[in-house]
Chains A and B, each alone.
Chain A
Amino acid sequence: TQLLEQSPQFLSIQEGENLTVYCNSSSVFSSLQWYRQEPGEGPVLLVTVVTGGEVKKLKRLTFQFGDARKDSSLHITAAQPGDTGLYLCAGAVGSSNTGKLIFGQGTTLQVKP
């Protein structure tokens, strides 16, 4: 059974602080995706990483895929209240085109003004 352990589960910080969310597994994934979900809505894709060691930046968000493609991290610099939401990592099993996704439990982030 493939599992993705995501930590921390909850994070409450002040505006301007930095934070890192981790996603770890004993399985190797062909790709890993990060999503952000608002209450009552579907997850919205933030980024997909496919190459071991890959680093992608999206404004104040930095995503990294581990060299062995078993772990990933999301770092947010100078968090803002608009970053509040549920962050989910998901690993693709099978081919990189159509593998099913295994989701982490999610990290609920609250950024207080």
Chain B
Amino acid sequence: EAGVTQSPTHLIKTRGQQATLRCSPISGHTSVYWYQQALGLGLQFLLWYDEGEERNRGNFPPRFSGRQFPNYSSELNVNALELEDSALYLCASSWETQYFGPGTRLLVL
């Protein structure tokens, strides 16, 4: 059974651009969680989607947004990129326990 997959593995953008990150959960899982892991800050909860709806969001500005598709895959969009958005973005899929994908490393120059 395939685990959580994320794409792309690496993404390089410049300030002010937009980034789109993608995640496919484990088959049968309906919830998707997004986390940001910036250097020295640990994992910070970003967004939680379940059954196509945004259920909760962390303490991040509105330029961090996303959506969940009918097949439960998800997109994270970051608008107006800032240098401090450089981080590893992790997606987790849950049934009763959260399983993480390998992450997308975003570098903003």
Residues on A facing B (Cβ under 8 Å): 31, 33, 35, 40-45, 48, 88, 90, 96-98, 100-106
Contacts and interface: CB of A to CB of B under 8 A. Distances in A.
Contacts of B56: 100
30 contacts: A31-B97, A33-B98, A35-B100, A40-B103, A40-B105, A41-B103, A42-B4, A42-B6, A42-B101, A42-B103, A43-B90, A45-B99, A45-B100, A48-B96, A48-B97, A88-B42, A88-B43, A96-B96, A98-B50, A98-B55, A100-B45, A100-B48, A100-B56, A101-B45, A101-B92, A101-B98, A102-B45, A103-B35, A103-B43, A105-B42
State the 6 A-B residue pairs at the shortest beta-carbon distance, nearest first: A42-B100, A103-B43, A105-B42, A43-B100, A42-B102, A42-B103
Interface string B76-101: 00000000000010101011111111
Contacts of B100: 35, 42-45
A42 B90 contact: yes
A73 B103 CA distance: 27
Interface of B: 4, 6, 31, 33, 35, 42-45, 48, 50, 55-56, 88, 90, 92, 94-103, 105
